[in-house]
Amino acid sequence: MACTSQTAEGYIRSARCHLVGGLKNLSVILENLYQQGVLCDEEVSKIQAEKDDYDKTRRILDSVTNKGQKACYEFLKIIDMTRKRTLQRPPLHSGTKTFDLHHWISCFPFKDDTEMNANYLQGPRPCHRYQEKLKSNAKEMSNKFWGKSKKLLGGNKKPDLSYATLVLDTDESVSPSKIKKVKKKKSKLSRPKKMRKYIPEEKPDIPPSELLETDKNILLVGKPGIGKTALTHEMLRIWAERESKELDYMFYFDMREISDIIRDKNLEELLFGVFCEPDEGKDEVLQDIKYSDNITIIFDGITDLSSQVVKKVLTKKLLRLAKIIITCRPDDEDEDLFSGDFHRVEVKGFSEQTIKTYLSATLGEDQEKVLSNLELVTLCHVPMYALMMAACFNSEDSPQPCTVTEIYINIIRFCLQINSKTKKKDLNFFISTKTEEILSLAEAAFLATQQKSVNLTDLTCEDICVLSFLKPLLIKEAVTETITTHAFLHYTVQEFFAALWLLKNPDKIRDVFQQCLTEEKKHMKHLIPFMCRLLNEKSPSLMKHLIPDQDLKNTSNWFFKELINTFLPHLCEQEEADTEDSGLHVHILFLCQCLYESQSPEACIYLLDKLDYHLDLSGDSLDPYPCCAVAFVVTQSKERKICLNLEDVVISEQGMRQLFECFKNVQWSGPLPRQLWEIFLINEEQMNFVSLLSLDGNLHLLVDGEKKLFERAVQVMQRMPTKVNVCLHWDKETPACHSQCESLLKALPFISSLSVDDETSDEDTTRFFVNLFCAAAEREQQTGEKILELLSSVCTYQTFPFGNGNLSDYGKKCQSDFLLDLYSKLKDYETKTGLSVLPSLQSVFQSAPAVWSIKLSERKTSILLEVLKLQPEKKQVELTHYTHKKSKMRSFLQCLPYISQLR
Ligand SMILES: Nc1ncnc2c1ncn2[C@@H]1O[C@H](COP(=O)(O)OP(=O)(O)OP(=O)(O)O)[C@@H](O)[C@H]1O
């Protein structure tokens, strides 16, 4: 059509007859000619004053061609850049061959001057203004959407909520979550593994912008609350914020909100009446939209096609060139209507990584409270539940602790509220009007849970609020037959509803308690913590809107006693049968968790009383949440201190923080301090040793424990800001081995005192110190370090075994005995090795008690004499078990010069 030598003017002249009648949207052409300086104000006005479009077109063509090549080139450029709106298309199926202006303009050999391209006005002014209005509307809508969620998060530190990456699945072969083969076999996965399966696997990221760019129509399918609306709002935001000279439009319709009002509306009413009205040139805008291929329409939450206008848009009878995005829940996915032309994308929620990022952004440090509970973490794969989690832990209105059940109650209330569009203040009333539907869902949940199934086969309810907790499952029974059942979005929500039904039918509760003790039905016990909290009437409330108050109180009166009495005897039986079983304490922990959920001090005291105030958690691995539960139960005992056994327990740093709160109610004696230090030392996390040390001022250390622990303790001492008091414990009756003595000696510069726990026998204590002093002497001999002196200064009178300012008779005796034993053993050692140890220990022997208590019959008087000789002044001596042996009496007389008083 074009030859390269043809001029712009010639090109226009050759097609003049087609251009007259073939140009449209003359205002766009004129405006551009004016902006590019081809025509002046006056010329434009004159053209506009022409009576019809033919005359206007002729006049435009004349003006441009009269102005020469440059003006003609500019004109062609304008036509080219705005051709969608300024050039007529040849009629479709016209039969006769017509001149195609679109083809004609594409054949003109333009120079490559891309930098100019951006500057053309694409469509009529009113359309551009309308686009601006739509964009600002979209930004506002997107802000409002996130603002609504943000409002749920209390506190001053409200985080900014925005779109977090969702797992999107474009697998066309029908999604595996939808169709399942009938599986007769029960899943053998452990509960944590089963829970993890809820979290969708990470897929290659499909950013919302990509969905926005593609020419295809899109069907977004996903469970309630999974993020379909959030995704569409993200697309709206991207569209509204991007810089583009294109004249494009984007409309969003929340079908749940408008489906009632648009039933009989036409396109104009839908776009301008329901969504957003142009401020000027309505007809021009509507015309432009109708034939625009740059228009995106979102129908969010479509359930049916009762609206004719929506149906026509979806079936392309209206807005033929528009790109359509629809979202629906799997329940409403009508394959006949949405098939073919729609690219199906399944929205699967948050991946594990996004859950972590989301919780970290919304909760900061508090994220640990959720992360430490696997059930809560997996619940967060549904973004709506993640939002609730953030809201529960962030809220200032409802004080923490937030029990797990409270989070579920909040979730249930929140889902009911948003799905029914009820105002917060009317929600309690609304719940009571839905009693029947909620209880029927609860019954289906209970029956399925009993069968260990997630398929709610007997569900008859069609209520939208109730269905918002569910997703449909298509079960393939035969090649030609599938049946639809429902499943909860998360198994724990099913258990929650099952618990609710059980409280409505209290006569079944005892049976269920018994079932929990059987191998076959032990999974039923997950209902019990929920029941414990649901019995509590405090806010957030649920049960009291569903069943009469008195019924709930009647159940509450016997429930906890029955629970404790059912589980405790079973516990004792197990204990007798297998004392090695470390799973044994699971029941105690379980009961603690139940009581924590209940928040009932009376029930805690009842349990503690039954356990004689002994809580034995030995051998357990305690997550932070159970720690919180144990701390709650222990703190309820105001009158009596609890004896806590934490032997071989594993607790995280966070769990420890929870547990610390209850130590004031715990007996601080026996092995507990040492057990705690072991838990800390074993732990690989950064533990807060300073706070542990502050409990009683001592670092408690098992002398004959694992070598690694001992070494770790030494490292800890070295890192402490001040010197540490060390209290040594023994497990088995073995003296410290050489390497342990060595480690301890290495740590001496960081030790302010060394003592021994009061359960260690005198013999062991002596043996240990003898070994330690001997090791010190050896080391001193080898290295020349003055270590004996340092050691003896650490083992001062104040802290020496049994030493305190006011010794009892028993104490005095022990101390005297200890010193005499130590002296005699070290003397033997000196003789054996030729090393000199005793002179460095003068201060130790001199710090001896004011009154020496001696069992004369058992003692070598020669040793006594030597020790007395070391004393700076005469000492009082008290003889017990004295002897009738003359020789012994005679040598005792030699001690008299060093004795001030003898009894
Ligand atoms: N990608 C996301 N990033 C951050 N928050 C999200 C995301 N998706 C959803 N949310 C949060 O979850 C809430 C519920 O999500 P949304 O309304 O998008 O679910 P939906 O799939 O449209 O549910 P329904 O089927 O009930 O309409 C939102 O209000 C938002 O706070």
Q: Is the pLDDT of residue 573 over 70?
A: no
The protein residue whose alpha carbon is closest to atom 23 in ligand 1 is: 225
Secondary structure of residue 901 in the 3-state scheme: strand
Atom of ligand 1 at shortest range from CA of 358: 4
Q: How many CB atoms lie within 10 A of CB 68?
A: 12
Token representation of residue 370: 């959720």
The protein residue whose alpha carbon is closest to atom 25 in ligand 1 is: 224
Confidence (pLDDT) at 557: 94
Q: Cβ distance 623 to 594 under 8 Å?
A: no
Do residue 113 and residue 132 come from a single domain?
A: no
Do residue 523 and residue 476 come from a single domain?
A: yes
Assign residue 151 a region (left: φ > 0; alpha: ψ between -120 and 50; beta: otherwise): alpha
* Confidence grade of residue 359 (pLDDT, cut at 50, 70, 90): very high
The protein residue whose alpha carbon is closest to atom 8 in ligand 1 is: 227
Spacing, Cα 293 to ligand 1 middle (Å): 29
Q: Cβ distance 208 to 270 under 8 Å?
A: no
Domain boundary among 288, 319, 351: 351
| CA atoms within 13 Å, Cβ hemisphere of 212 | 19
Residue 506 lies in a domain: yes
Q: Cβ distance 891 to 860 under 8 Å?
A: no
Dump pLDDT digits (tens) for 689-726. 988 998 888 999 887 777 788 888 888 998 888 899 98
Atom of ligand 1 at shortest range from CA of 231: 1
Backbone angles phi, psi at 793, to 5 degrees: -70, -30
Per-residue DSSP letter, 750: G
Task: Kindly state the percentage of the chain with pLDDT values over 90.
Answer: 36
Compute the mean pLDDT over every residue in the chain, rounded to the nearest whole number.
84
Spacing, Cα 226 to ligand 1 middle (Å): 5
Do residue 207 and residue 339 come from a single domain?
A: yes
Dump pLDDT digits (tens) for 423-445. 889 999 999 999 999 999 999 99
Residue 43 lies in a domain: yes
Residue 737 lies in a domain: no
What ipTM did this prediction achieve? 0.99
- What lines the ligand 1 site, CB under 6 Å? 149, 163-164, 166, 222, 224-230, 301, 329, 383-384, 387, 468
* Confidence grade of residue 469 (pLDDT, cut at 50, 70, 90): confident
Spacing, Cα 497 to ligand 1 middle (Å): 23
Rounded Cα distance, 219 and 346, in Å: 8
Residue 594: closest CA among 618, 569, 559 = 559
* Confidence grade of residue 60 (pLDDT, cut at 50, 70, 90): very high
Sheet bearing 875-880, strands edge to edge: 851-855, 875-880, 899-902
Atom of ligand 1 at shortest range from CA of 468: 26
Do residue 170 and residue 289 come from a single domain?
A: yes
* Confidence grade of residue 777 (pLDDT, cut at 50, 70, 90): confident
Sign of CA dihedral 836, 837, 843, 846: negative
Spacing, Cα 228 to ligand 1 middle (Å): 6
Parallel/antiparallel/unpaired status of strands 643-645 and 621-622: unpaired
Atom of ligand 1 at shortest range from CA of 222: 21
Spacing, Cα 496 to ligand 1 middle (Å): 22
pTM of the model: 0.75
Do residue 134 and residue 113 come from a single domain?
A: no
Confidence (pLDDT) at 571: 58
The secondary structure element, H or E, covering residue 43 is helix 41-48
Confidence (pLDDT) at 572: 58
Rounded Cα distance, 70 and 8, in Å: 8
As a whole number, mean pLDDT of residues 613-626 equals 87
Dump pLDDT digits (tens) for 411-427. 899 888 888 888 889 99
Spacing, Cα 713 to ligand 1 middle (Å): 49
> Ligand 1 pocket: which of 167, 229, 389 to mutate (most atoms <8 Å of CB)?
229
Q: Is the peptide bond before 540 cis (omega within 30 degrees of 0)?
A: yes
Residue 863: closest CA among 903, 801, 819, 802 = 819
Confidence (pLDDT) at 154: 66
Spacing, Cα 646 to ligand 1 middle (Å): 43
Residue 317 lies in a domain: yes
Q: Cβ distance 540 to 578 under 8 Å?
A: no
Do residue 337 and residue 415 come from a single domain?
A: no
Least confident stretch, 105-109, 465-469, 527-531, 812-816: 812-816
DSSP-derived secondary structure for 583-612: GGGHHHHHHHHHHHHHT-HHHHHHHHHHTT
Confidence (pLDDT) at 447: 93
Residue 521 lies in a domain: yes
Residue 540 lies in a domain: yes
Do residue 317 and residue 446 come from a single domain?
A: no
Backbone angles phi, psi at 734, to 5 degrees: -120, 140
Spacing, Cα 381 to ligand 1 middle (Å): 11
- Give Rg (Cα) of the chain: 42
Rounded Cα distance, 682 and 713, in Å: 10
Rounded Cα distance, 699 and 535, in Å: 44
Residue whose structure tokens are 């050039």? 87
Rounded Cα distance, 693 and 670, in Å: 17
Domain boundary among 485, 519, 547: 547
Sign of CA dihedral 585, 587, 590, 594: negative
Sheet bearing 342-349, strands edge to edge: 167-169, 342-349, 217-221, 323-328, 295-300, 249-254
Do residue 133 and residue 272 come from a single domain?
A: yes
Rounded Cα distance, 304 and 310, in Å: 10
Q: Is the pLDDT of residue 808 over 50?
A: no
Q: How many CB atoms lie within 10 A of CB 538?
A: 9
Confidence (pLDDT) at 183: 45
Q: Is the pLDDT of residue 591 over 60?
A: yes
Higher-confidence residue: 335 or 256? 256
Q: Is the pLDDT of residue 387 over 80?
A: yes
The protein residue whose alpha carbon is closest to atom 12 in ligand 1 is: 384
Q: Which class for 790: exposed (0-12), middle (13-18), buried (19 or more C-beta within 10 A)?
A: middle
Do residue 441 and residue 523 come from a single domain?
A: yes
Confidence (pLDDT) at 181: 45
Q: How many CB atoms lie within 10 A of CB 715?
A: 11
Do residue 62 and residue 132 come from a single domain?
A: no
As a whole number, mean pLDDT of residues 622-643 equals 91
The CATH number of whichever domain residue 35 belongs to comes to 1.10.533.10
Dump pLDDT digits (tens) for 850-892. 788 787 777 778 888 888 888 888 888 888 776 677 877 888 8
> Ligand 1 pocket: which of 145, 146, 149 to mutate (most atoms <8 Å of CB)?
149
* Residue 107 CB contacts under 8 Å (≥ 6 apart), including other chains: 1, 2
The residues with which 167 forms a beta bridge, in sequence order, are 349
Residue 743: closest CA among 751, 732, 733, 755 = 751
Secondary structure of residue 158 in the 3-state scheme: coil
* Confidence grade of residue 339 (pLDDT, cut at 50, 70, 90): low
Confidence (pLDDT) at 426: 92
Confidence (pLDDT) at 431: 93
Do residue 320 and residue 446 come from a single domain?
A: no
736 to 710, 765, 841: CA distances (angstroms): 11, 10, 20
The CATH number of whichever domain residue 256 belongs to comes to 3.40.50.300
CA dihedral 351, 353, 357, 362 (to 10 degrees): 50
* Confidence grade of residue 814 (pLDDT, cut at 50, 70, 90): low
- Residue 258 domain boundaries: 128-138+166-179+202-351
Domain boundary among 521, 547, 573: 547
Assign residue 641 a region (left: φ > 0; alpha: ψ between -120 and 50; beta: otherwise): beta
Spacing, Cα 382 to ligand 1 middle (Å): 8
Confidence (pLDDT) at 174: 52
Q: Cβ distance 27 to 76 under 8 Å?
A: no
Q: Vertex 29, ends 27 and 33: CA angle to 5°?
A: 115
* Confidence grade of residue 258 (pLDDT, cut at 50, 70, 90): confident
Q: Is the pLDDT of residue 811 over 60?
A: no
Q: Is the pLDDT of residue 615 over 90?
A: yes
The protein residue whose alpha carbon is closest to atom 29 in ligand 1 is: 149
Higher-confidence residue: 402 or 2? 402
DSSP-derived secondary structure for 808-844: -HHHHHHHHHHHHHHHHHHHHHHHHH----GGGGHHH
How many structural domains are present in the chain? 3
The protein residue whose alpha carbon is closest to atom 16 in ligand 1 is: 227
Residue 449 lies in a domain: yes
Do residue 407 and residue 443 come from a single domain?
A: yes
Q: Is the pLDDT of residue 101 over 60?
A: yes
Rounded Cα distance, 878 and 678, in Å: 41
Spacing, Cα 305 to ligand 1 middle (Å): 23
Confidence (pLDDT) at 798: 39
Q: Is the pLDDT of residue 768 over 70?
A: yes
Residue 832 lies in a domain: no
Dump pLDDT digits (tens) for 115-132. 555 578 888 889 999 999
Confidence (pLDDT) at 93: 60
638 to 516, 593, 594, 633: CA distances (angstroms): 32, 19, 20, 11
Q: Cβ distance 853 to 819 under 8 Å?
A: no
* Residue 825 CB contacts under 8 Å (≥ 6 apart), including other chains: 766, 770
Atom of ligand 1 at shortest range from CA of 347: 21
Confidence (pLDDT) at 804: 39
Rounded Cα distance, 277 and 269, in Å: 9
Sign of CA dihedral 600, 605, 606, 607: positive
